[in-house]
Amino acid sequence: MTKSFFFNIIVLVLFQSCIIKSFVRKNSQVDLLPNYISTDSIRIINPALSIHSVLGGRIEWPLPLSITKQNIFKIQLLHLLDSQKIILRDNFLISGDCLTNKINAENWTDYTWNLANAYKCLKIDPKLYTIFLYNILEIWEIGGSTPANLRSHIHTFVKVFYNNRILYSRSYRYTKPLTNKEQKAFEKTNAYPFFKDDQIKYVVQKVTEDLFKRIQPK
């Protein structure tokens, strides 16, 4: 297992009673974009995700996630664009499915996933600025209590490709403990794993806010 995987475990244990909202890997952020980008030169790829659990020290993945819940990432992107009166053509026509469950806490390294070649399965037009959102969703079991104390963790990154390079990269995480009420709710409805809509929306908003401010009509 990689150092980053063990680092994630240590962080979650230390802050098991806290909500964590923060940008991550700030030293590896990339920003080679101009201050303003024309809407005509931008496309957005359909968001992709990995989802798994770490329960009792055992990783189980992939976990199922309802289409309705998956679509919240896309709906939030559209809402944020609409709130700034940004109209883009051909949204989400490019699929990100080739990367589903390919990126997770075990294999996440800056060296690998900050290289454009790692995303070569995506059908990207090199002449356009192409925005890609990837979402790592994890359920963690903390401590040995009964019932288990669970934490819901979402780590989202956004990358912008242009001319076969990554010109922009941001990464944001939101980790929160699940209350007993929340745990009982998803146990009764078989809604496991439990990720609240507001948690998803918040991460998408934070990771894209700087980028979307730069998009302007032609």
Which tens digit of pLDDT belongs to each residue from 11-36? 444 445 588 999 988 778 899 999 99
Give the tokens for residue 94.
């490019």
pLDDT digits (tens, 9 = 90+) for 133-191: 999 998 887 765 555 678 889 999 999 999 999 999 999 999 998 887 777 776 776 66
Instruction: Sketch out the chain's domains with CATH numbers.
Output: 3-216 (3.40.50)
**Rounded Cα–Cα distance for residues 99 and 109 (Å):** 15
Confidence of residue 87 (pLDDT cuts 50, 70, 90): confident
In this predicted structure, the answer to whether residue 84 has a pLDDT above a threshold of 70 is: yes
**Rounded Cα–Cα distance for residues 20 and 14 (Å):** 11
> In terms of pLDDT, which residue wins out, 8 or 55?
55
Across 89-148, the runs of DSSP E, i.e. the strands, are 129-142
Give the tokens for residue 172.
């944001």
What is the predicted pLDDT for the residue at 86?
86
**Rounded Cα–Cα distance for residues 119 and 149 (Å):** 35
Cβ count within 10 A of residue 13: 12
Peptide bond into 147 cis (omega under 30): yes
